[in-house]
Chains A and B, each alone.
Chain A
Amino acid sequence: GAVVSQHPSRVICKSGTSVKIECRSLDFQATTMFWYRQFPKKSLMLMATSNEGSKATYEQGVEKDKFLINHASLTLSTLTVTSAHPEDSSFYICSASPRDPQEDEQFFGPGTRLTVL
């Protein structure tokens, strides 16, 4: 099956620093990648949708200047949390959809646990 990786799996940083999370589709080309945030005991909340080569579309309430998303290639999307604060601590999950527009399935990465001190 299609595999999506995320790196790093865990990151701890100091308040005010920036953190970059990578999401890669390993064995398929992803025209669309999604970034989710998951709070403890909560559902996944869609943060943004990114299409290769174009600007990401952010969900209402998500600060695009704080959560920078780049989808530079068909296999890589990055999420940068800028000037991170403790309230940004969360579990961030990416997913990727294959090139075939008829395919509605998303393949999920294992997630990245961000802790901001």
Chain B
Amino acid sequence: AQSVTQPDIHITVSEGASLELRCNYSYGATPYLFWYVQSPGQGLQLLLKYFSGDTLVQGIKGFEAEFKRSQSSFNLRKPSVHWSDAAEYFCAVSGSARQLTFGSGTQLTVLP
């Protein structure tokens, strides 16, 4: 069975600082991996996805993620965080039938 672990429940960074959110997955085959962001009152928005090819994936809002098969990781990064990035971030893996399995989420707080 597929699973996703986001070890950090809550992360606080200062505006302008760099950010890395961790994600580890468990899946038997080559996974499809996703990062979503959820802001209060809004639906989940896709930041980026990895299906195949280049292991460094660029997404929207200046985010990127790197797929590392040897570490079963798909960490999300941003070089300089903005106050508007404060939200809940979910990593997800997709298996057959396009079913997504989500991690437990990481709440990001951005200090002014």
Q: Are B98's CB and A97's CB within 8 A?
A: yes
Bound complex: CA A97 to CA B100 (Å): 11
Question: How far in angstroms is the closest Cβ of chain B from A90?
Answer: 15
A interface residue count range (under 10 / 10 to 19 / 20 to 34 / 35 or more): 20 to 34
* B30 contacts partner chain A, Cβ-Cβ < 8 Å: no
Binds B, one of A39-47, A66-74, A77-85: A39-47
A109 lies within 8 A of B98 (CB): no
Q: Does B41 count as interface, using CB distance less than 8 angstroms?
A: yes
Binary interface profile of B, 93-112, with partner A (CB < 8 Å = 1, else 0)? Answer: 01001111111110000000
Instruction: Report chain A residues within 8 Å CB of B49.
Output: 104-105
Contact of A111 among B43, B46, B51, B105 (CB under 8 A): B43
Q: List, in ascending order, chain A residues with CB within 8 A of B97's CB.
A: 49
Q: What is the chain A residue whose CB lies nearest that of B10?
A: A41
Q: Within 8 Å CB of B101, what residues of A?
A: 46
Q: Give the tally of cross-chain contacts (CB within 8 A).
A: 47
Q: Are A46 and B99 in contact (CB under 8 A)?
A: yes
Whether A110 and B42, one on each chain, are in contact in the complex, defined by CB atoms closer than 8 angstroms, is yes
Q: How far is the CB of A117 from chain B (nearest CB, A)?
A: 22
**Minimal beta-carbon separation of B106 from chain A (angstroms):** 11
Which of A32, A42, A46, A108 has a CB less than 8 Å from the CB of B43?
A108
Interchain CA distance A34-B49 in the complex, whole Å: 19
Q: Distance (Å) between the CB of A62 and the closest chain B CB?
A: 13
B102/A44 in contact, CB under 8 A: yes
Give the chain A neighbours of B103 by CB distance below 8 A: 43
CB of A106 closer than 8 Å to a CB of B: yes
Given contacts A46-B99, A104-B49, A108-B43, 19 further A-B contacts (CB under 8 A): A41-B105, A42-B105, A43-B90, A43-B104, A43-B105, A44-B90, A46-B100, A49-B97, A93-B44, A95-B44, A104-B51, A105-B46, A105-B49, A106-B100, A108-B36, A108-B44, A108-B45, A109-B43, A111-B43
Interface of B toward A, CB cutoff 8 Å: 32, 34, 36, 41-46, 49, 51, 90, 94, 97-105
